[in-house]
Chains A and B, each alone.
Chain A
Protein backbone atom coordinates (compact mmCIF):
# COMPACT_ATOMS: atom_id res chain seq x y z
CA UNK A 1 0.00 0.00 0.00
CA UNK A 2 1.39 3.34 -1.01
CA UNK A 3 1.44 6.03 1.64
CA UNK A 4 1.14 9.75 1.05
CA UNK A 5 4.80 10.06 0.11
CA UNK A 6 5.46 13.10 2.31
CA UNK A 7 8.02 12.74 5.03
CA UNK A 8 6.97 13.66 8.58
CA UNK A 9 9.68 16.30 9.01
CA UNK A 10 8.47 18.18 5.93
CA UNK A 11 4.90 17.99 7.17
CA UNK A 12 5.91 19.16 10.63
CA UNK A 13 7.71 22.18 9.14
CA UNK A 14 4.67 22.94 6.98
CA UNK A 15 2.45 22.81 10.08
CA UNK A 16 4.69 25.25 11.91
CA UNK A 17 4.78 27.57 8.91
CA UNK A 18 1.02 27.51 8.40
CA UNK A 19 -0.45 27.81 11.89
CA UNK A 20 -0.99 31.43 12.88
CA UNK A 21 -2.86 31.19 16.22
CA UNK A 22 -3.60 28.73 19.03
CA UNK A 23 -5.89 25.94 17.83
CA UNK A 24 -7.57 23.01 19.57
CA UNK A 25 -8.22 19.88 17.58
CA UNK A 26 -9.68 16.59 18.76
CA UNK A 27 -8.87 13.12 17.48
CA UNK A 28 -11.80 10.73 17.83
CA UNK A 29 -10.18 7.43 17.00
CA UNK A 30 -8.37 5.18 19.44
CA UNK A 31 -6.06 3.98 16.69
CA UNK A 32 -5.05 7.60 16.08
CA UNK A 33 -4.46 8.08 19.81
CA UNK A 34 -2.10 5.11 19.97
CA UNK A 35 -0.39 5.93 16.68
CA UNK A 36 0.33 9.52 17.78
CA UNK A 37 1.98 8.25 20.97
CA UNK A 38 3.80 5.35 19.37
CA UNK A 39 5.36 7.53 16.69
CA UNK A 40 6.14 10.41 19.05
CA UNK A 41 4.21 12.84 16.89
CA UNK A 42 3.38 15.33 19.64
CA UNK A 43 7.00 16.44 19.62
CA UNK A 44 6.52 17.42 15.97
CA UNK A 45 3.50 19.65 16.58
CA UNK A 46 3.79 23.44 16.66
CA UNK A 47 3.40 24.93 20.13
CA UNK A 48 0.12 26.55 19.16
CA UNK A 49 -1.49 23.23 18.24
CA UNK A 50 -3.32 21.42 21.03
CA UNK A 51 -4.62 17.96 20.17
CA UNK A 52 -6.99 16.36 22.66
CA UNK A 53 -8.26 12.80 22.62
CA UNK A 54 -11.99 12.25 22.36
CA UNK A 55 -14.31 9.26 22.60
CA UNK A 56 -12.57 7.23 19.92
CA UNK A 57 -12.52 3.87 21.62
CA UNK A 58 -15.79 1.90 21.43
CA UNK A 59 -14.87 -0.21 24.43
CA UNK A 60 -14.24 2.90 26.51
CA UNK A 61 -17.55 4.61 25.68
CA UNK A 62 -19.58 1.51 26.50
CA UNK A 63 -21.57 2.57 29.55
CA UNK A 64 -21.36 0.87 32.90
CA UNK A 65 -25.00 -0.18 32.53
CA UNK A 66 -24.26 -1.86 29.18
CA UNK A 67 -21.33 -3.77 30.65
CA UNK A 68 -23.50 -4.85 33.57
CA UNK A 69 -26.12 -6.13 31.11
CA UNK A 70 -23.44 -8.18 29.33
CA UNK A 71 -22.36 -9.63 32.67
CA UNK A 72 -25.94 -10.55 33.57
CA UNK A 73 -26.36 -12.33 30.24
CA UNK A 74 -23.06 -14.18 30.53
CA UNK A 75 -24.04 -15.40 34.00
CA UNK A 76 -27.11 -17.21 32.68
CA UNK A 77 -26.99 -20.96 32.34
CA UNK A 78 -26.63 -22.49 28.89
CA UNK A 79 -25.47 -19.26 27.27
CA UNK A 80 -22.28 -18.96 25.30
CA UNK A 81 -21.17 -15.32 25.32
CA UNK A 82 -19.03 -14.57 22.27
CA UNK A 83 -17.07 -11.33 22.57
CA UNK A 84 -14.25 -9.44 20.96
CA UNK A 85 -11.23 -9.74 23.23
CA UNK A 86 -11.22 -6.00 23.94
CA UNK A 87 -14.30 -6.36 26.15
CA UNK A 88 -13.05 -9.24 28.27
CA UNK A 89 -11.38 -7.27 31.05
CA UNK A 90 -13.63 -4.21 31.16
CA UNK A 91 -14.87 -3.90 34.75
CA UNK A 92 -18.61 -3.74 35.34
CA UNK A 93 -20.23 -2.87 38.63
CA UNK A 94 -19.26 -6.33 39.87
CA UNK A 95 -16.50 -8.12 38.02
CA UNK A 96 -15.68 -8.52 34.35
CA UNK A 97 -16.40 -11.13 31.68
CA UNK A 98 -12.95 -12.54 32.33
CA UNK A 99 -13.75 -12.99 36.01
CA UNK A 100 -17.09 -14.55 35.15
CA UNK A 101 -15.32 -16.99 32.86
CA UNK A 102 -13.03 -17.95 35.73
CA UNK A 103 -16.17 -18.64 37.77
CA UNK A 104 -17.52 -20.98 35.10
CA UNK A 105 -19.39 -18.78 32.62
CA UNK A 106 -18.99 -19.85 29.00
CA UNK A 107 -17.32 -16.74 27.58
CA UNK A 108 -15.46 -17.15 24.30
CA UNK A 109 -13.27 -14.64 22.50
CA UNK A 110 -13.94 -14.26 18.79
CA UNK A 111 -12.30 -12.09 16.16
CA UNK A 112 -15.37 -11.80 13.97
CA UNK A 113 -19.15 -11.77 14.28
CA UNK A 114 -19.11 -14.59 11.74
CA UNK A 115 -17.16 -16.71 14.23
CA UNK A 116 -19.88 -16.11 16.83
CA UNK A 117 -22.52 -17.36 14.39
CA UNK A 118 -20.38 -20.43 13.71
CA UNK A 119 -20.40 -21.18 17.44
CA UNK A 120 -24.20 -21.04 17.41
CA UNK A 121 -24.41 -23.36 14.41
CA UNK A 122 -22.03 -25.87 15.97
CA UNK A 123 -23.81 -25.79 19.35
CA UNK A 124 -27.54 -25.95 18.52
CA UNK A 125 -28.40 -27.10 22.04
CA UNK A 126 -27.15 -23.83 23.55
CA UNK A 127 -27.88 -20.17 23.06
CA UNK A 128 -25.01 -18.08 21.69
CA UNK A 129 -25.04 -14.34 22.40
CA UNK A 130 -22.69 -12.10 20.44
CA UNK A 131 -21.57 -8.96 22.25
CA UNK A 132 -21.89 -6.41 19.45
CA UNK A 133 -19.63 -3.51 20.32
CA UNK A 134 -18.07 -1.00 17.97
CA UNK A 135 -18.65 2.00 15.73
CA UNK A 136 -19.58 2.04 12.05
CA UNK A 137 -16.37 0.18 11.17
CA UNK A 138 -17.52 -2.86 13.09
CA UNK A 139 -21.32 -2.70 12.91
CA UNK A 140 -21.62 -3.76 9.23
CA UNK A 141 -20.11 -7.17 10.02
CA UNK A 142 -22.76 -7.70 12.70
CA UNK A 143 -25.47 -6.68 10.22
CA UNK A 144 -24.20 -9.06 7.54
CA UNK A 145 -24.05 -11.93 10.02
CA UNK A 146 -27.56 -11.21 11.30
CA UNK A 147 -28.86 -11.27 7.72
CA UNK A 148 -27.14 -14.62 7.31
CA UNK A 149 -28.74 -15.89 10.54
CA UNK A 150 -32.16 -14.72 9.34
CA UNK A 151 -31.76 -16.44 5.96
CA UNK A 152 -30.61 -19.68 7.58
CA UNK A 153 -33.25 -19.44 10.33
CA UNK A 154 -30.71 -19.89 13.10
CA UNK A 155 -32.73 -19.49 16.26
CA UNK A 156 -30.12 -20.02 18.98
CA UNK A 157 -28.15 -16.89 18.00
CA UNK A 158 -28.72 -13.39 19.32
CA UNK A 159 -26.84 -10.13 19.69
CA UNK A 160 -26.42 -7.75 22.59
CA UNK A 161 -26.39 -4.81 20.23
CA UNK A 162 -24.31 -2.01 21.72
CA UNK A 163 -23.03 -0.57 18.42
CA UNK A 164 -22.80 3.20 18.34
CA UNK A 165 -22.75 5.90 15.67
CA UNK A 166 -19.91 8.43 15.68
CA UNK A 167 -21.47 11.56 14.08
CA UNK A 168 -24.08 12.14 16.83
CA UNK A 169 -21.29 12.07 19.43
CA UNK A 170 -19.34 14.63 17.41
CA UNK A 171 -22.36 16.93 17.49
CA UNK A 172 -22.44 16.65 21.29
CA UNK A 173 -18.74 17.46 21.54
CA UNK A 174 -18.99 20.31 19.04
CA UNK A 175 -21.72 21.89 21.17
CA UNK A 176 -19.57 21.81 24.34
CA UNK A 177 -18.42 25.42 24.92
CA UNK A 178 -15.80 24.24 27.40
CA UNK A 179 -14.00 22.33 24.66
CA UNK A 180 -14.16 25.02 21.95
CA UNK A 181 -12.96 22.63 19.28
CA UNK A 182 -11.59 24.20 16.10
CA UNK A 183 -11.35 20.95 14.17
CA UNK A 184 -11.88 17.21 14.25
CA UNK A 185 -9.29 14.73 13.03
CA UNK A 186 -11.83 12.20 11.82
CA UNK A 187 -11.44 8.43 12.15
CA UNK A 188 -10.10 6.78 9.01
CA UNK A 189 -11.79 3.42 9.24
CA UNK A 190 -15.17 4.64 10.46
CA UNK A 191 -15.03 6.92 7.44
CA UNK A 192 -14.27 3.99 5.11
CA UNK A 193 -17.88 3.06 5.77
CA UNK A 194 -19.44 6.53 6.17
CA UNK A 195 -17.62 8.59 3.54
CA UNK A 196 -17.72 12.37 4.01
CA UNK A 197 -21.39 13.38 3.98
CA UNK A 198 -22.44 12.22 7.49
CA UNK A 199 -19.95 14.75 8.92
CA UNK A 200 -21.05 17.63 6.70
CA UNK A 201 -23.16 19.29 9.41
CA UNK A 202 -20.01 19.96 11.43
CA UNK A 203 -18.56 22.21 8.74
CA UNK A 204 -21.78 23.68 7.35
CA UNK A 205 -23.79 24.24 10.54
CA UNK A 206 -21.12 24.44 13.21
CA UNK A 207 -18.20 25.92 11.29
CA UNK A 208 -15.77 23.24 12.46
CA UNK A 209 -12.93 21.99 10.28
CA UNK A 210 -12.92 18.24 9.56
CA UNK A 211 -10.25 16.08 8.03
CA UNK A 212 -10.27 12.30 7.66
CA UNK A 213 -6.84 10.84 8.31
CA UNK A 214 -5.07 7.51 8.00
CA UNK A 215 -2.81 6.08 10.66
CA UNK A 216 0.81 6.47 9.62
CA UNK A 217 2.81 9.49 10.81
CA UNK A 218 2.48 11.24 7.46
CA UNK A 219 -1.26 10.52 7.29
CA UNK A 220 -1.90 12.09 10.69
CA UNK A 221 0.28 15.12 10.06
CA UNK A 222 -1.40 15.64 6.68
CA UNK A 223 -4.78 15.58 8.41
CA UNK A 224 -3.63 18.15 10.97
CA UNK A 225 -2.12 20.32 8.25
CA UNK A 226 -5.43 20.23 6.38
CA UNK A 227 -7.26 21.27 9.57
CA UNK A 228 -4.90 24.22 10.09
CA UNK A 229 -5.38 25.24 6.45
CA UNK A 230 -9.17 25.07 6.74
CA UNK A 231 -9.20 27.23 9.87
CA UNK A 232 -6.72 29.73 8.58
CA UNK A 233 -8.57 30.25 5.31
CA UNK A 234 -11.92 30.25 7.18
CA UNK A 235 -13.25 27.53 4.88
CA UNK A 236 -14.35 24.65 7.10
CA UNK A 237 -15.01 21.53 5.09
CA UNK A 238 -14.93 17.73 5.32
CA UNK A 239 -11.97 16.41 3.40
CA UNK A 240 -10.25 13.06 3.15
CA UNK A 241 -6.50 12.96 3.55
CA UNK A 242 -6.79 9.15 3.42
CA UNK A 243 -7.99 8.74 -0.18
CA UNK A 244 -6.36 5.35 -0.69
CA UNK A 245 -8.98 3.89 1.68
CA UNK A 246 -11.82 6.40 2.03
CA UNK A 247 -14.05 7.06 -0.94
CA UNK A 248 -16.22 10.19 -0.70
CA UNK A 249 -19.31 8.00 -0.79
CA UNK A 250 -17.89 5.51 1.76
CA UNK A 251 -19.02 1.92 1.44
CA UNK A 252 -22.72 2.11 0.44
CA UNK A 253 -23.13 -1.66 0.52
CA UNK A 254 -22.07 -1.76 4.17
CA UNK A 255 -24.42 1.09 5.06
CA UNK A 256 -27.31 -0.57 3.21
CA UNK A 257 -26.81 -3.73 5.23
CA UNK A 258 -26.78 -1.67 8.44
CA UNK A 259 -29.89 0.21 7.35
CA UNK A 260 -31.75 -3.05 6.69
CA UNK A 261 -30.90 -4.55 10.06
CA UNK A 262 -30.48 -1.73 12.57
CA UNK A 263 -32.78 0.94 13.85
CA UNK A 264 -31.51 3.98 15.70
CA UNK A 265 -32.11 4.79 19.33
CA UNK A 266 -30.95 7.21 22.02
CA UNK A 267 -28.03 5.66 23.86
CA UNK A 268 -25.82 6.44 26.84
CA UNK A 269 -22.12 6.92 26.21
CA UNK A 270 -19.68 6.86 29.08
CA UNK A 271 -18.71 10.45 29.76
CA UNK A 272 -21.08 11.97 27.23
CA UNK A 273 -24.44 10.95 28.66
CA UNK A 274 -27.41 9.97 26.52
CA UNK A 275 -26.89 11.04 22.91
CA UNK A 276 -29.97 11.15 20.68
CA UNK A 277 -30.10 8.50 17.95
CA UNK A 278 -26.52 7.42 18.58
CA UNK A 279 -27.22 3.73 19.15
CA UNK A 280 -27.86 0.98 16.64
CA UNK A 281 -30.54 -1.41 17.85
CA UNK A 282 -32.65 -4.29 16.57
CA UNK A 283 -36.23 -3.36 15.75
CA UNK A 284 -39.15 -4.96 13.92
CA UNK A 285 -38.44 -8.43 12.58
CA UNK A 286 -34.82 -8.11 13.75
CA UNK A 287 -35.85 -7.87 17.40
CA UNK A 288 -36.06 -11.68 17.42
CA UNK A 289 -32.25 -11.57 17.52
CA UNK A 290 -32.14 -9.03 20.36
CA UNK A 291 -30.48 -10.77 23.31
CA UNK A 292 -31.96 -8.27 25.79
CA UNK A 293 -35.46 -9.10 24.62
CA UNK A 294 -34.87 -12.83 24.36
CA UNK A 295 -33.51 -13.17 27.87
CA UNK A 296 -35.45 -10.44 29.64
CA UNK A 297 -32.40 -8.36 30.53
CA UNK A 298 -32.41 -4.58 30.41
CA UNK A 299 -29.72 -1.92 30.31
CA UNK A 300 -30.07 0.40 33.27
CA UNK A 301 -27.93 3.35 34.23
CA UNK A 302 -25.12 2.47 36.62
CA UNK A 303 -22.59 4.86 38.12
CA UNK A 304 -18.96 4.65 37.00
CA UNK A 305 -16.36 3.31 39.44
CA UNK A 306 -15.70 5.74 42.33
CA UNK A 307 -12.94 8.22 41.51
CA UNK A 308 -12.68 7.12 37.88
CA UNK A 309 -12.25 10.06 35.48
CA UNK A 310 -12.80 8.09 32.25
CA UNK A 311 -15.88 10.20 31.56
CA UNK A 312 -14.00 13.51 31.62
CA UNK A 313 -11.10 11.97 29.70
CA UNK A 314 -13.43 10.68 26.96
CA UNK A 315 -14.96 14.13 26.70
CA UNK A 316 -11.53 15.72 26.28
CA UNK A 317 -11.80 17.71 29.50
CA UNK A 318 -8.96 15.93 31.28
CA UNK A 319 -5.80 14.19 30.20
CA UNK A 320 -5.25 10.79 31.81
CA UNK A 321 -2.52 11.91 34.25
CA UNK A 322 -5.03 14.35 35.72
CA UNK A 323 -7.15 11.42 36.99
CA UNK A 324 -6.33 10.76 40.67
CA UNK A 325 -6.32 7.01 40.05
CA UNK A 326 -3.99 7.08 37.01
CA UNK A 327 -0.87 5.00 37.51
CA UNK A 328 -1.73 4.45 41.17
CA UNK A 329 -4.76 2.23 41.73
CA UNK A 330 -5.51 2.16 37.99
CA UNK A 331 -2.91 0.52 35.74
CA UNK A 332 -3.14 -1.80 32.73
CA UNK A 333 -2.48 -4.76 35.03
CA UNK A 334 -5.26 -3.70 37.39
CA UNK A 335 -7.58 -1.33 35.53
CA UNK A 336 -10.37 0.55 37.25
CA UNK A 337 -11.87 2.21 34.18
CA UNK A 338 -12.23 1.08 30.57
CA UNK A 339 -9.80 3.68 29.18
CA UNK A 340 -7.02 1.77 30.98
CA UNK A 341 -8.28 -1.63 29.78
CA UNK A 342 -8.49 -1.20 26.07
CA UNK A 343 -5.27 -1.10 24.10
CA UNK A 344 -6.72 1.92 22.33
CA UNK A 345 -7.88 3.69 25.46
CA UNK A 346 -6.31 7.06 26.19
CA UNK A 347 -5.18 6.02 29.66
CA UNK A 348 -3.52 2.82 28.43
CA UNK A 349 -1.75 4.78 25.67
CA UNK A 350 -0.52 7.45 28.09
CA UNK A 351 0.61 4.79 30.54
CA UNK A 352 2.44 2.75 27.92
CA UNK A 353 4.19 5.57 26.09
CA UNK A 354 4.44 8.23 28.76
CA UNK A 355 4.64 6.20 31.91
CA UNK A 356 5.49 9.03 34.22
CA UNK A 357 2.16 10.56 33.28
CA UNK A 358 3.61 14.04 33.26
CA UNK A 359 0.69 16.41 32.74
CA UNK A 360 3.18 18.91 31.32
CA UNK A 361 3.10 16.80 28.18
CA UNK A 362 -0.39 18.11 27.52
CA UNK A 363 -0.37 19.65 24.09
Chain B
Protein backbone atom coordinates (compact mmCIF):
# COMPACT_ATOMS: atom_id res chain seq x y z
CA UNK B 1 0.00 0.00 0.00
CA UNK B 2 3.00 2.26 0.46
CA UNK B 3 3.89 1.83 -3.17
CA UNK B 4 5.01 5.09 -4.75
CA UNK B 5 5.70 5.40 -8.44
CA UNK B 6 8.16 7.78 -10.12
CA UNK B 7 6.44 10.28 -12.41
CA UNK B 8 7.88 13.04 -14.60
CA UNK B 9 6.02 16.35 -14.29
CA UNK B 10 4.88 17.38 -17.75
CA UNK B 11 2.71 20.39 -16.94
CA UNK B 12 2.02 22.55 -13.91
CA UNK B 13 -1.63 23.45 -13.34
CA UNK B 14 -3.30 25.86 -10.93
CA UNK B 15 -3.91 25.26 -7.21
CA UNK B 16 -0.97 22.93 -6.65
CA UNK B 17 -2.03 20.49 -9.33
CA UNK B 18 0.20 19.11 -12.07
CA UNK B 19 0.08 16.63 -14.91
CA UNK B 20 2.69 13.92 -14.53
CA UNK B 21 3.64 10.92 -16.63
CA UNK B 22 4.73 7.44 -15.70
CA UNK B 23 5.80 5.93 -18.99
CA UNK B 24 3.08 6.81 -21.48
CA UNK B 25 0.36 7.22 -18.86
CA UNK B 26 -0.41 10.77 -17.79
CA UNK B 27 -2.29 11.60 -14.63
CA UNK B 28 -3.18 14.62 -12.54
CA UNK B 29 -1.35 14.81 -9.23
CA UNK B 30 -1.19 17.15 -6.24
CA UNK B 31 2.10 18.88 -5.46
CA UNK B 32 1.19 20.35 -2.04
CA UNK B 33 3.92 18.29 -0.35
CA UNK B 34 6.70 19.16 -2.82
CA UNK B 35 6.29 22.89 -3.53
CA UNK B 36 8.65 24.41 -6.03
CA UNK B 37 8.76 21.50 -8.45
CA UNK B 38 9.03 22.36 -12.13
CA UNK B 39 8.13 20.77 -15.41
CA UNK B 40 10.60 17.98 -16.16
CA UNK B 41 11.19 17.14 -12.49
CA UNK B 42 10.94 13.52 -11.38
CA UNK B 43 8.74 12.95 -8.35
CA UNK B 44 7.53 9.97 -6.33
CA UNK B 45 3.74 9.77 -6.43
CA UNK B 46 1.69 8.00 -3.78
CA UNK B 47 -2.10 8.08 -3.49
CA UNK B 48 -2.38 10.96 -5.93
CA UNK B 49 0.19 13.14 -4.16
CA UNK B 50 3.83 13.78 -5.05
CA UNK B 51 5.64 12.99 -1.79
CA UNK B 52 9.24 13.69 -2.82
CA UNK B 53 11.36 14.97 -5.66
CA UNK B 54 13.81 12.28 -6.73
CA UNK B 55 17.53 13.02 -6.67
CA UNK B 56 20.20 11.94 -9.10
CA UNK B 57 22.76 11.75 -6.33
CA UNK B 58 23.38 8.22 -5.06
CA UNK B 59 24.78 9.61 -1.86
CA UNK B 60 27.88 9.18 0.20
CA UNK B 61 26.53 6.39 2.37
CA UNK B 62 26.55 3.77 -0.38
CA UNK B 63 30.15 4.60 -1.25
CA UNK B 64 31.10 4.31 2.41
CA UNK B 65 29.33 0.97 2.64
CA UNK B 66 31.32 -0.43 -0.27
CA UNK B 67 34.62 0.79 1.11
CA UNK B 68 33.93 -0.97 4.39
CA UNK B 69 32.55 -4.14 2.81
CA UNK B 70 35.72 -4.44 0.75
CA UNK B 71 37.79 -4.08 3.90
CA UNK B 72 35.69 -6.66 5.79
CA UNK B 73 35.87 -9.15 2.93
CA UNK B 74 39.64 -8.93 2.97
CA UNK B 75 39.93 -9.27 6.77
CA UNK B 76 37.71 -12.14 7.95
CA UNK B 77 38.38 -11.47 11.62
CA UNK B 78 37.48 -7.80 11.49
Which residues on A are within 8 Å of B, measured CB to CB? 1-2, 4-5, 14, 17-18, 20, 29-31, 56-59, 84, 86, 111-115, 133-135, 137-138, 140-141, 144, 187, 189-190, 192-193, 222, 225-226, 229, 232-233, 239-241, 243-247, 251, 253-254, 257, 342, 344
Contacts and interface: CB of A to CB of B under 8 A. Distances in A.
Across the A-B interface, the 9 shortest Cβ-Cβ residue pairs: A112-B48, A243-B59, A137-B2, A17-B73, A189-B2, A141-B49, A189-B4, A192-B52, A254-B33
Given A140-B49, A192-B4, A342-B1, 15 more contacts: A18-B69, A29-B2, A84-B47, A111-B48, A137-B4, A226-B65, A232-B78, A240-B61, A243-B55, A243-B57, A243-B61, A243-B62, A253-B32, A344-B1, A344-B3
B2 A251 contact: no
Contact of B46 (A57, A189, A226, A253): A189
A138 B46 contact: yes
A222 B44 CA distance: 21
Contacts of A4: 58, 62
A241 B62 contact: yes
B61 A189 contact: no
A20 B76 contact: yes
Nearest to A1: B6
Interface residues of B, number: 33
Residue from A56, A114, A233 with most neighbouring chain B CB atoms (10 Å): A114
B69 to A, nearest CB: 5
B1 A30 contact: yes
Given A138-B46, A144-B49, A189-B3, A225 B58 contact: no
B40 interface: no
Contacts of B65: 222, 225-226, 229, 239, 241
A193 to B, nearest CB: 7
B13 interface: no
B37 to A, nearest CB: 12
A14 B55 CA distance: 26
Contacts of A342: 1
A251 B47 contact: no
Contacts, number: 141
A194 to B, nearest CB: 11
A134 B44 contact: no
A144 B32 contact: yes
B46 A232 contact: no
Contact of B52 (A14, A229, A247): A247
Nearest to B49: A141
6 contacts: A20-B76, A86-B1, A137-B4, A243-B61, A253-B33, A257-B32
B23 to A, nearest CB: 12
A222 B63 CA distance: 11
Contacts of A138: 1-2, 46-47
Nearest to B51: A192
A222 B62 contact: yes
Contacts of B68: 229, 233
A111 B72 CA distance: 46
